[in-house]
Structure 1
Amino acid sequence: MTSTIPFIDINIRLNLNELSMLKNGRKYIIPCQSYLNRQSRNDLAKKEYERISNIAKECIGKHQMSISDERAKQAFPELEKMIQELNTKPLSRKLYRRARREYHIVRRLQKLIHTQSDIIIRRIDKGEGFYLGRKTTMDLKTQEYMNKTEAYQIITTDQCPLMNILRSVENLLDYLLKNKAITQDRRKKLLPDINKLELAYLYTLPKIHKAGIPIRPIISGLYAPVRCISKFLNDLLAPIYLQVARETTFTNGIDVIQRLEQYAAKGYLKSTTKLFTADVENLYTMVPREGGITALIEFLNKYTKNGKIGPFTIDMILKMARLILDTNYFVYNDKYYHQKRGGAMGSAFTQVFANI
């Protein structure tokens, strides 16, 4: 277990147990909490089996496999048996005491945060640790960021743009279907789940590794109308970009070392060689919309075969790109906003768009 010291930017009293719990980081899972639930463990096991088996069956169906397959017939009873055993197996006294102790620690932390409305808890940017600070401070930094970048426009009407975006998505998918770029099955997969549909929302991550603790805005659109199209377009373009940019792109630290070794082996690395690093501030929000589209057109003209990627023409790809960029609406502090420049941090397509 990797521990991460929490960054506390507020005057708050925490005991050693509470600090230790926060130090575990956001991926830590408190053990055996089902044993403290008022429901019977048999009922919990049944619910857990239903949840996991439904996910598995949906996945099997997506891959055009049958749940009546002989392997599936064997797997599901085994899964049910395993979940039943895990949920009903007696706990050792030591583990039970630990589960109760950690349960109460978390409950105290939750109560402490909920009773003080100005406390905010976030994960830190580029890390797994927690940040505790004041909501008013984060709101102020968010507003300063919006004013500085001039990338966001508040919507003055109270009308939620969600249904208009959904209609735009449906119209685009109908166009692609009509022109035989996608199948009816693909259209269904690119449509959002109507039962879970919601407008994206903005939250911020504190950059504790930088002076003044600036924020990184994230627009979370897990159930937003264009999410599936954004991921689809990213999956379509990213492999081409990565292939084109391979010679000038480092994938990780090991790749950097290997490239430097190759550079040195060729005799290029000398005592006078200077290495530079640069950071583009607010990259995703500072990309000019039309300038980015122009760059995308040039990229597609240069690296597509006969102006197509599979069944998708350049015009179709541009329609998808414009839809994603033009419908970037979100909620923040009970107000509607529209991002009028760049792409949303949190949208799958934004990264490849900014890279291109």
Structure 2
Amino acid sequence: MTRAIVLQTIVTACALVPPCFYNLSKHAFLQLERITHDLYFKQLPRNLIRCAQSEYKIIRNIQRLLREQPDIVVRRTDKSKVFYIGKVDDFERKAQEYMLKTQAYVEVTNGRCPLADNLHAVQTLLDYLMAKNVITRKQHNKLLLNLNKLELGHYHGLPKSRKSGTPLQPIIASINAPATLVSKFLNDFLAPMFLQVARKITFINGIDVVRKLEKYVSDGRFKSATKFITADVTDLYTMIPRQGALETFARFCLKHSKRGKIGTFTIDHIMKMAHLILDTNTFIYNKKYYRQIRGSAMGSAFT
């Protein structure tokens, strides 16, 4: 960071400080600027310089190795910032094993890219909702992605380094898929209601856990025989039967609706959007098209 950038940052920060604290904050920011300046121009000890040079050489050697070895792939691991280095063949083998085990995906064998069909399905539903005065023209246009950016989802697996055998967590990267904005819209629309309903049985963060545990104790429910149990569901996103999930979702919406509607949407409108999101969950992997027929995609806002 240059001195000019540091000074500009300090000036900007000072402008955001209330007038009553201006002198105090100005003094603090000037001290911060001086410390930053000293650290930036201070000569590093020789041992740190040698260490930095050694690590730089290691990084350059790794970069060269990766360029010269196309059969090596680097991926960020699931639920961590650690990187995993493995063989391309291993990743492909694990992906195929996962597909065979879960039976959640089928190959699209008609030779046609599903992108156009998915886009048509999205446009048809949005036209229908607008004709029913459920959404406005402005909302209709906002829920359609730019045609120049449209693309199918892409499958990639994130290594679960914390588990035996390092299985893959399947991710469908569908940020530019036709139904992506519809998925985000439905999630944003229903999330406040769901969070309110599930608040009593949901932990928001660590502090929330502590507070609920304290209440549990104060209510006299904490005993010497009390057990804390954790569970891990294997292949969560692909093990849930789709029809059962949709029926459960419909009952939830009906239970918390008012006269059969949530906002301007009837339960039927919401279910049509849910079906659309699930039915257009297609992606490309290894130059082949696939459609998910079981569970839901990990990477879609609604699911």
The reply on whether 1:121 has 2:74 as its aligned counterpart is yes
**d(CA) in 1 for partners of 2:60 and 2:149?**
29
**d(CA) in 1 for partners of 2:269 and 2:141?**
18
Task: Give structure 1 regions of 4+ aligned residues with deviation exceeding 2 angstroms.
Answer: 91-95, 101-112
1:11-90 equivalences in 2 (<5 Å): none
**d(CA) in 2 for partners of 1:261 and 1:301?**
35
Which fold has the larger relative contact order, with Cα–Cα distance below 8 Å and residues 6 or more apart in sequence? 2
C-alpha change, 1:271 and 1:118, in structure 2 (3 Å) is same
CA displacement 1:69-111 (0-9 Å, x = unmatched) = xxxxxxxxxxxxxxxxxxxxxx97989x9xxx89987665444
Match of 2:225 among 272, 278, 294: 272
**d(CA) in 2 for partners of 1:294 and 1:305?**
19
CA displacement 1:217-242 (0-9 Å, x = unmatched) = 00000111110000001111111111
Tell me the equivalent position of 2:277. Answer: 324
CA displacement 1:115-147 (0-9 Å, x = unmatched) = 212111000110111111111111111111111
Tell me the equivalent position of 1:38. Answer: none
Tell me the equivalent position of 2:102. Answer: 149
Match of 1:206 among 159, 183, 197: 159
SS class of match (1:212): coil
Q: CA deviation at 1:112?
A: 2.2
1:182-221 equivalences in 2 (<5 Å): 182-221=135-174
Indicate the larger mover: 107-116 or 326-335.
107-116
Match of 1:239 among 162, 173, 192: 192
Query: Could you tell me which amino acid in structure 2 is paired with residue 151 of structure 1?
Result: A
**d(CA) in 2 for partners of 1:315 and 1:218?**
29
**d(CA) in 1 for partners of 2:128 and 2:286?**
36
Q: CA deviation at 1:256?
A: 1.4
Mark the runs of 5 or more structure 1 residues left unpaired by the alignment. 1-30, 33-90, 351-356
The reply on whether 1:164 has 2:117 as its aligned counterpart is yes
Percent identity, aligned pairs only?
52
The reply on whether 1:314 has 2:279 as its aligned counterpart is no
Q: CA deviation at 1:269?
A: 0.5
Figure out how many residues of one structure are paired with residues of the other and give that number. Answer: 260
**d(CA) in 2 for partners of 1:157 and 1:93?**
66
Query: Could you tell me which amino acid in structure 1 is paired with residue 217 of structure 2?
Result: A
**TM-score, length basis structure 1:** 0.69
SS class of match (1:195): helix
Query: Could you tell me which amino acid in structure 2 is paired with residue 226 of structure 1?
Result: A
Indicate the larger mover: 101-110 or 194-203.
101-110
The reply on whether 1:261 has 2:261 as its aligned counterpart is no
SS class of match (1:338): strand
Q: CA deviation at 1:253?
A: 2.0
Q: CA deviation at 1:328?
A: 0.6
**d(CA) in 1 for partners of 2:59 and 2:267?**
52
**d(CA) in 2 for partners of 1:105 and 1:196?**
38
SS class of match (1:330): strand
CA displacement 1:325-355 (0-9 Å, x = unmatched) = 01110011111100001110000011xxxxx
SS class of match (1:117): coil
Tell me the equivalent position of 1:282. Answer: 235
Query: Could you tell me which amino acid in structure 1 is paired with residue 92 of structure 2?
Result: D
The reply on whether 1:173 has 2:126 as its aligned counterpart is yes
**TM-score, length basis structure 2:** 0.80
**d(CA) in 2 for partners of 1:145 and 1:110?**
30
CA displacement 1:293-318 (0-9 Å, x = unmatched) = 10011001100111112111111100
Q: Which has the larger radius of gyration?
A: 2
Q: Over aligned residues, Cα RMSD in angstroms?
A: 2.4
